Structures are given as structure tokens and as C-alpha cells.
Amino acid sequence: MPDAPAIATEDPMFLGREEESLFARDDNDVLVRRDKETRDRFKDLVTIVIDGYSIEVPRAVPKTDALGNPLRDTDGGLIPRTTTIHDAAAQLVALGIWTDEELKTRIPVLCHQRHVTPVAVCRMCSVQISSMKRGKLTPGRKLVPACQHRVETNMVVTTRAGVDGYNPEAKATADMKAVERFAADVNGSVKLLAEFLLADHCHPDLGTAKRYDDELGTVILSLGVDRVRKRLERPADLPSRNAAGAPEEHLDEFDPLVPPSSKPRRFTLPLAPDVHEPERAGTATAHQAWEDWNAKVHDGYPYSSRTVVVDHDKCILCDRCVRACSEVKPFKVIGHTGKGYGTRISFDLDSVMGESNCVQCGECMTSCPTGALSLRRRVQPRAWADSPTQIPVNPNTAFPADSGFLTADEMQKVWLRYDSPTRGARVVFPFQAVPYSYLKWNEGAVRKWEIAPGERKLLCDEGQYGSTAFLLQGTGTFEIYSRLAGPAAKPGFFARLLGRSAKTDSGYGPLVRIATGDELVLGEMTCLTHRPRTATVVAVAERDNPSLTLTRDEHGRTSATLNRNNPGPVVVYEVTRNMLDMMLRSASARDDLQEMYTFRAIQACVTGGDLFKPLNAEQRERAIMLLLTEGAEFRRVEAGDGIVAEGDPASDFYLVRLGTVRVFTTIGGREQVIRLLSAGDHFGEGALLSDRPGMRSASVAALDPVELVRVPGPVFRKLCETFPSVREGLAGAPRPAVAGLTQTPTPGVLSEYVRQGLYQGQRLLVLDLTSCTRCDECTRACADSHDGNARLLREGLRFGDFLVATSCRSCHKPYCMEGCPVDAIHRRGQHLEVVIENHCIGCGLCERNCPYGSIHMVARTQPNPDAAAIPGGNPHVTAARRAVNCDLCNGGEPFCVQACPHIAAHRTTGPDLLDEVLSRLNRPVA
């Protein structure tokens, strides 16, 4: 038997034994066992050194969702996850030691995103780790992925930055020759990986417009890889992974490396041309451009859908789309298929994306780093009722000029001057971290307003539902009025601070305060809570309003300079709710918005809470300042989580800012609901008002996502001493079990009321079973008035003598609005009905979110009649299906109620229904 050929270990493509092993081993050749993280490691701090920079981090951190919200287990405890080297490096960015761009240069990533589970498949983030052995710094025998490798005590990490990027203050004590050698190893490995990817996955882009950020190209450029060595070049006769079938002559040579040899799969696209201005040279009309674009996608990329172009040749199998579909969104449609060269992502059991169970939510597209999943069409948002401009569907079509809507490129350049209470004045780029593909998909979701010097503009009106927020560039003043604030007696703290006297603008109510342009955002609360606006906001541009100029220093740091000698307009950016949600995925933007939201949440609790009604405007402002300065804490609680437990020592007082909580006791192992508390209510005062704080006499838990203001016991007592009327209000008449209820329910009835979620309903459809004959006239009337698609089902749970039909309840907390990727579902004006716009993409997320089964997905059978009446509108369908729900007959008397011949159908609120049931139960039997 001939000897095996010797392996040239100096070959840069050589793979060591450990790289071929099935199991990971440490430097002592011991199998690595990953213990499950526990919550006690949140406080177990370790110190590591990255390129000479020392950073202290905990061994574990709370696991979060895509919006940064901590995830909890069934017991309400935080779910821990391992702290990785990349997490520690990100802390250096958070501390201002590195910039975000510097982190990307030192530790480039392709497969990793901070809000999903790391898988370390691309290995672009490889680093060298070393440890002290016998007083000497000893390197590990292999490189490790920074996105997945856990931090350990006294770990020393070297990235590809080498000597040039090493901490200058630590160079004197470090072995710089070893650092240079380690960095060379990292660079050699990472550049080779980049060369492999460049050889096989970098292909010319499709279309005439930029539709995504090419992260692979950016990483390759930053690594300086500009060529592929001869032996790594892709063979010219390799078939495309996009081919639905392979030529017969290749089967023997490449089988099983080629994709499945089935017939090319075609599908009918429910897309039609958009009527707009000609958009590019050489094409006569937008109609022809749209036809050409779809023909190109149809012929060359058969796995595509109506929203996403699927290009398997660009896919690097980073798994981002797989995790986005299963972790960020709950659909679990995307997986892998094939092997070898033919390995690719797949939809369901290797279906065409458009024929699979994919709901076209776009999450995979916004996650893709290479353009393998890219945009096919814009979404056409219709949040702007006052504008006739229709956004063109074709992403290659020029954007409407002078429309006030921003393009994706313009959105990325938006900057705001923000004077943070904790971090000082700085410049914020709110959309820079939002994926370009998402911005391109939602072009038209951001609108720019310029208020000229000497002019005023009404931004929003109190009491109306809205789905937009306002980002402030940094100048101007914003007058905030509230009719709920009562008569204005004296100038308040904020008015005195700004030198303004209290006044009332016609129809707006008293002037509550004056916000400045450097407060970053206004109107965000209605987007995040889905509740009516709590104030009227008027933007004011004084005649001498200074202009703003963006400047950069020699280190690339930005700052905004006020030019008082050159008056300029007040600039406001109005953004839709879905764009605000995407902004919150950035840790920096999330911290900025949370900072402002916390202050305003505490302010809203005092301004709108029943407890503080006896106070005048000046006293309320003093109460706000007392709570803010003395340690009141804003807190979010997820549905089902406990807040206080029966028998625990009483230490805090709570104000309910948003949501509903239940107060209950446990007797004989069974819960008995005593009371429901909602926005404006409070609890926890009983045991704190006594001379000696006692024990909790009942438990309190959240029924839906709740926002609270926690007031520590000493602060609560100081508040009562400062404002005696508050203490008197707490000692007043007992509160009813349910707000607005005139009778006392039994624990059994109240528990059933809570179990069925009836407390949420503002317009429940109930059928009185004592008079209903099951004629089904209500269902027929609903179907006849809604294109044959009934918005109700005459079935549901029974409460007393009533059947609670399956129809939209107009909930206080509309779960259906959570996470809509195109902001197609919201409320308008002062109406309770939930409106689903015609630009709905049919993703079905609202149907999944609704806990009462009130939303249905129906096929589109006719063009959009509303768009036909708009100049430039596209009357043809752009999605195969859409969501429908009860629209309360657009504010009129519902047809289902009118059609009932026995007056058995009623629209009512949850408390009114409970009151009627209790009246019948208490009615004496004849």
C-alpha cells in the first residue's frame, strides 16, 4: 500500500486535526461541555482584555427579543444566555472606547446578529485567545468565533487589528511581536474565508436600483481581498443553484452536487403594472418597466415570491433568514435542503417561496447580508391620508419628486440633535442601523416637514388615535396642550423655565408645557401603546429660529452647530409605527427613546391619574419632579407575570400607566379575583399608610402587557406628606371591583369575566340567548355589506345569558397591531374600529396575534377600488390575500345589530355586559 502523500503544513489552506473533529476541545485536549446558564451568573463578573483594552462583563446576560425586551420563563424569571467575546467588544462601543465601525473592522461578522442565537457558521469573526500559563502568555491552538465563544476570567483576545489597533497605553507592557503574529494568523484565516466567498457568491446585481446593503462586499473590501487565486475560481460549467433542473450531461459529473432535476417551476404572479412617470432611459413607460422587471425575475429566479427575489447563487448559508423566520417571527418556514454545492435554503419542503406557507413579512429579506433574498416591490404605505401621492411599486422606479416622502438613501442620512439628560448633547442617526432593504421596502414611511420661520403647524390632536411619531431635528419649540389638564391657574414649572406664561389656544385646552427641538421625539407614546394621543402638539418656528449645521472633527465624530445669525426652518420627520419598531432594534436608538419615554410615562401617570386630580397644574409638576428626583422607577411587566405576592412584606407603591392587572387571593389552592385595575389606577398603598408597614394581603399579576411606575415606600410617604390631598384620596371610598361597575360581582363571575378576556372589550358583539332564534340574519347582513366575507362568526363562549360572538372587540390593548411590518393596521381619528389598509401584504401576523379569532385572511378577488381614484394609483392587486376584520360598519350602527329581528344582538362594553349579567343574576325569581 503506497504511503499517503505528505501534507504541506505551510499551505495557508491547511486544516488542522481539531478543525475536522466532531467535538470541540479546549487547549488541554479535553472535551468542552457547555453548562446551561443560570441567573446567578448575572452578578458573576469576569475581566477580559481585547486588543489591550480591559473590560469587565458578567458571565451571563438576560436574553432579549429583537426589540431588546428581556425574555422570561414560565416562572417570570429572566432567561440567561452566555456572554460572548463579541458582547464584550460591543461593551467597548457602548462605553465610547471604540466606534461601531471600528468594531466591524476588528471583528467582522456575516452570520451574526445580536438579537438571534449565534451559530458561528461564517467564522469571519475569528479571534485568537490566549491565557496565562506558568507566568507566560500562551496562545490557544486554534482560532475561535467571537460571536459564540464565551468569556472566561483573564482571557486575552487578539483581533485582526494587530499592533496598529492595540491600546497605546498597554503597548509598553505587552509582547507586541506576539500580538503581530496572532493578528497575522487571524488575518490569514479570515481573508481566506473571504476569498472562498468571493469566488462563489459575488455575482452582478439584479435591477437598476440599490435594493439592499451588500455586507459581504463591504467585509471583503475592508479585508483588502480583491482577487481569487486560480485554484479557487468557480468552474465556468457549474450550473446555477437557481436552476429548477440541470442539463442531462452534467448529471453524472456533478450529481449529487446539483439542485434537484425537476421541471422548472412557474407560478402566476398576482402583480400588475404601476401607472407612474417614466423612470429610466430606454424605457417608454412605467408599465413596460414593470413588465420587464417581472419577466427578468420570473425567468432567472424561479424560487422568488411576489415580495422577495430569491437568488441561491448569492446565498452563503449564514442561517440569518432561518433564525429570523423561527426566532424573530414564529413562522418556521425556512430551512435547508440539498448537499455539497447544491445546498441551499428552502421553503417548507423545497417549495417555491411564493407557493409555500411564507407570509411575505419580509423579515428574512431584511436579515440577508448578501442580497440572496432581496426586494421585489415596494409596499405602498397609505398612512398619509392628506396626500394623494401613491408610492410606485417598482423598486427601480424613480421616487416621486417633491412629495415630502424620503427615499431609503435620504432616510439613512437623517440626523437629529439630541440633548440627552444623562449623556449630554450629541447627534443621532435614527435610521442608520435599519437594514437598507427594509428602508427601500418602506420608502414613503418617513415624511419630512419644514416649518418656515414665523409659521406654526399642528402636528397631532389630543384624543385621536395615531400611528405616527415625530422626530425633531433640534430647533424650534413645540407647544403641548391638554384639555384634561383642567383650567390653567398659574404658570407651571416648565413654562416658567422657558419664560412663558400660561395660555389657552382656541380649542386645544390649557398649555401644559413647551418642548424644545432637542428632545428627540414627540408622539411616540401612541405608537408604542396603541392608545389615543394624550395631548395636542403645535410646532412653532420663531422668526429668528437658528439653522443647524452638521460638522465632523478629525476623528470623524459628528456634532450639530447652531447658527443664530442665519435663520432656518424647523425640521420634523413624521415616521410610521413600523419604522419606529425597526429603529428600536438598535441599542443606541432604543436607549434614547426609552429615556424620553420613561420621563413621559411618569408625567402621564401624574397628569392623567385619578389619584392626582385634586392637585392643580403647579402641584402636579412638583409631584412629577419629586417622583423623578427621588427614585421612582418605570417598569414593564409581561402578561401573566406577577407583580406582588400575597404575604410578602410591603415596600413599594405602584401606579398603573397602561394595561390591566388583577388583584386576587388564593384560598384552598384556588384563585379568587377581587378587583381589576387599569390605566390611572394604583395599588399597594394599604400596608404603607399604617405606622408599621405590614404584609401584602393579596397578590397582583398582569393580565396583559403592563406599564407601571414603582414608587419606593419612603418616596411614597414623602409624597403623602407634601400633598395631603393625595393621602386623603387614598383613604377615601373603596373602589369598585371593575371601573364603572355599580354592583359587586361574586368571585366566580369575576374570574370567568377575566378568563374570557371580556375586560378588554370596548365594542363586544353579544347575542342574548333568551331572545335569539339562531336565524343567522346577523351573519348574512355582515357578509352582504362586506363583499361576501362575513366579519363575524355566530359562535363563541357563553357569559351568563349571552353568547359572546367571534367578532372584533375593539380591545383596549389591540394585540393585532403588534409587529405589522408595513403599518397596515391601526385606528383612525377618535374611532374605535381597527382599520386594515389596502396595502396589507397578507402576512397573517395580526390573525395570529388576535387571541379571540376575530381576524380572517381572505383571497383578493378584485382590484383595489380606493387606489383607482388616486392619481398615479395602482388599482390592481399586489398581494394574494389580505386580512379582514369587523370595521364596526365605519362608525355607523352595525348592520349585524340592525338586521336582528328579535333585538338579540347588541354592541356593548365589557363592564356594561358584566353589569347586565349581575342584574339578571340578582333579579328576584317571580
pLDDT of residue 863: 56
Count other C-beta atoms under 10 Å from residue 635's C-beta: 16
Identify whether the C-beta of residue 859 lies closer than 8 Å to the C-beta of residue 850: no
Structure-model confidence comparison of residues 74 and 188, the more confident one = 188
Burial 720-754 (b: 16+ CB within 10 A, else e): beebeebbebbeeeeeebbbebeeebebebbbbbb
Specify the pTM: 0.81
Q: pLDDT-derived band of residue 380, with 50, 70 and 90 as boundaries? A: low
Q: Is the pLDDT of residue 819 over 90?
A: no
Nearest-angstrom CA–CA distance, 658 and 605: 9
Q: pLDDT-derived band of residue 798, with 50, 70 and 90 as boundaries? A: very high
Q: Which of 321, 377, 353 is nearest to 207 (CA)?
A: 377
Q: Is the pLDDT of residue 599 over 60?
A: yes
Q: What angle do CA 390, 392, 393 make, to 5 degrees?
A: 125
Nine-digit cell at 169? 497605553
Q: Is the pLDDT of residue 892 over 50?
A: yes
Q: Residue with C-alpha cell 447563487?
A: 313
Sheet arrangement for strand 670-677: 642-644, 699-702, 661-667, 670-677
Q: pLDDT-derived band of residue 299, with 50, 70 and 90 as boundaries? A: confident
Q: pLDDT-derived band of residue 767, with 50, 70 and 90 as boundaries? A: very high
Percent of the chain residues past pLDDT 90, beyond the cut: 28
Q: pLDDT-derived band of residue 574, with 50, 70 and 90 as boundaries? A: very high
Q: Which of 392-406, 629-643, 698-712 has the lowest mean pLDDT?
A: 392-406
pLDDT of residue 508: 84
Rounded to 5, what percent of the chain is helix, strand, coil? 30, 20, 50
Residue by residue, DSSP assigns 579-631 as HHHHHTTSHHHHHHHHHHHHHHHHHHHHHH-GGGTTS-HHHHHHHHHHHHHHT
Identify whether the C-beta of residue 701 lies closer than 8 Å to the C-beta of residue 605: no
Q: Is the pLDDT of residue 622 over 50?
A: yes
Residue by residue, DSSP assigns 348-369 as TTTB-GGGSS-----HHHHH-S
Nine-digit cell at 558? 459628528
Identify whether the C-beta of residue 524 lies closer than 8 Å to the C-beta of residue 580: yes
The pLDDT of 364-390, averaged and rounded, is 78
The pLDDT of 369-377, averaged and rounded, is 92
Q: pLDDT-derived band of residue 454, with 50, 70 and 90 as boundaries? A: very high
The pLDDT of 186-206, averaged and rounded, is 88
Structure-model confidence comparison of residues 317 and 7, the more confident one = 317
Q: Is the pLDDT of residue 852 over 50?
A: yes
Identify whether the C-beta of residue 341 lies closer than 8 Å to the C-beta of residue 254: yes
Q: Is the pLDDT of residue 498 over 50?
A: no
Residues 6+ apart with CB under 8 A from 615: 623, 723, 725, 726
Q: Domains in the chain, start-ordered, CATH in brackets?
A: 17-201 (3.10.20.30), 238-375 (3.30.70.20), 408-608 (2.60.120.10), 612-735 (2.60.120.10), 750-922 (no CATH)
pLDDT of residue 194: 92
The mean predicted confidence, pLDDT, of the chain is 81
The pLDDT of 17-42, averaged and rounded, is 66
Q: Residue with C-alpha cell 339578571?
A: 920
Q: Is the pLDDT of residue 639 over 60?
A: yes
Strands 504-505, 509-516: pairing kind: antiparallel
Q: Which of 28-32, 877-881, 896-900 has the lowest mean pLDDT?
A: 877-881
Nearest-angstrom CA–CA distance, 742 and 914: 10
Nearest-angstrom CA–CA distance, 599 and 597: 5
Percent of the chain residues past pLDDT 70, beyond the cut: 84
Identify whether the C-beta of residue 841 lies closer than 8 Å to the C-beta of residue 822: yes
The pLDDT of 313-326, averaged and rounded, is 94
